[in-house]
Amino acid sequence: MSITRKHLSARSSAIVIHNDTIYLSGQVAEGADIQEQTKIMLGKVDKLLEEAGSSKSHLLQAVIWLSTMENFAAMNEVWNAWIDPENPPARACGEAKLARDELLVEVIITAAKP
The domains of the chain are located at: 27-112
> Which of the 8 DSSP states describes residue 88?
P
Contact (CB, 8 A) for 54 and 112: yes
Would you state the pLDDT for residue 1? 77
The pLDDT tens digits of the residues spanning 42-88 come to 999 999 999 999 999 999 999 999 999 999 999 999 999 999 999 99
Report pTM: 0.95
Buried-state track 16-40, b at ≥16 Cβ within 10 A, e below 16:
bbeeeebbbbbbbbebeebbebbeb
Fold classification of 27-112 (topology level): 60s Ribosomal Protein L30; Chain: A; (3.30.1330)
Q: How far is CA 92 from the centre of its chain?
A: 12
The pLDDT tens digits of the residues spanning 48-57 come to 999 999 999 9
